[in-house]
Amino acid sequence: MPVTRKTFEDFPPGTIFELGEYHLTAEDIISYAREYDPQPFHLDEEAGRTSFLGGLAASGWHMVSILMRMTYDNILFDTCSLGSPGVDSLKWTRPVLAGDTLTGKAEVLSARPLKSRPNMGIAKFRFEMHNQRDELVLVQMTSLLVERQQPT
């Protein structure tokens, strides 16, 4: 392995990762929606404007997909990840509209070695996304399995 990669020991509780920015265009919203969530308010500006969302709005599943990409680009790209068992909770707190710029943040809430599999540990994260007005649009609790440092 040519470079040092992050292991379980790099995720003590309280660690905060900034996940950068993601600017969302109408084309991005429509492209995801055509494939995975073709409800009218995710496909069409006018349908969005007259809906409860108030504009051409991103699918909630598009938002978590974008959060995954931000998490890869800022944490997982150099982490010895062994995947995630699942999500403890996920809330969409505000619509995300075409033209919005999202910022992401992740905080390690807890971290413990696994007794059953001594080569790995589990870290529980709180993820947040805010829009350009600093309004919370998504909050998610997800666990991640990470390799522990090998004895040298």
Long-range contacts of 79-84 (CB under 8 A, 24+ apart): 79/5, 79/6, 79/7, 79/10, 79/146, 80/5, 80/6, 80/7, 80/146, 80/147, 81/144, 81/145, 81/146, 81/147, 82/120, 82/145, 82/146, 82/147, 83/144, 83/145, 84/142, 84/143, 84/144, 84/145
**Angle between helices 26-36 and 60-74 in degrees, nearest 10:** 110
Q: Tell me whether residue 13 or residue 36 sits nearer to a copy of itself (CB atom).
A: 36
**Token duo for residue 9:** 């020991």
Q: Tell me whether residue 35 or residue 135 sits nearer to a copy of itself (CB atom).
A: 35
Tell me the closest approach of the beta carbon of residue 69 to a copy of itself, in angstroms: 5
Positions touching a copy of itself (CB under 8 A) are 32, 35-39, 52-53, 59-61, 64-66, 68-69, 72, 76, 81-92
Q: Tell me whether residue 45 or residue 147 sits nearer to a copy of itself (CB atom).
A: 147
Tell me the closest approach of the beta carbon of residue 18 to a copy of itself, in angstroms: 19
Q: Tell me whether residue 69 or residue 105 sits nearer to a copy of itself (CB atom).
A: 69
**Token duo for residue 59:** 């699918």
Tell me the closest approach of the beta carbon of residue 33 to a copy of itself, in angstroms: 10
Q: Tell me whether residue 18 or residue 78 sits nearer to a copy of itself (CB atom).
A: 78
Tell me the closest approach of the beta carbon of residue 34 to a copy of itself, in angstroms: 10
Tell me the closest approach of the beta carbon of residue 65 to a copy of itself, in angstroms: 4
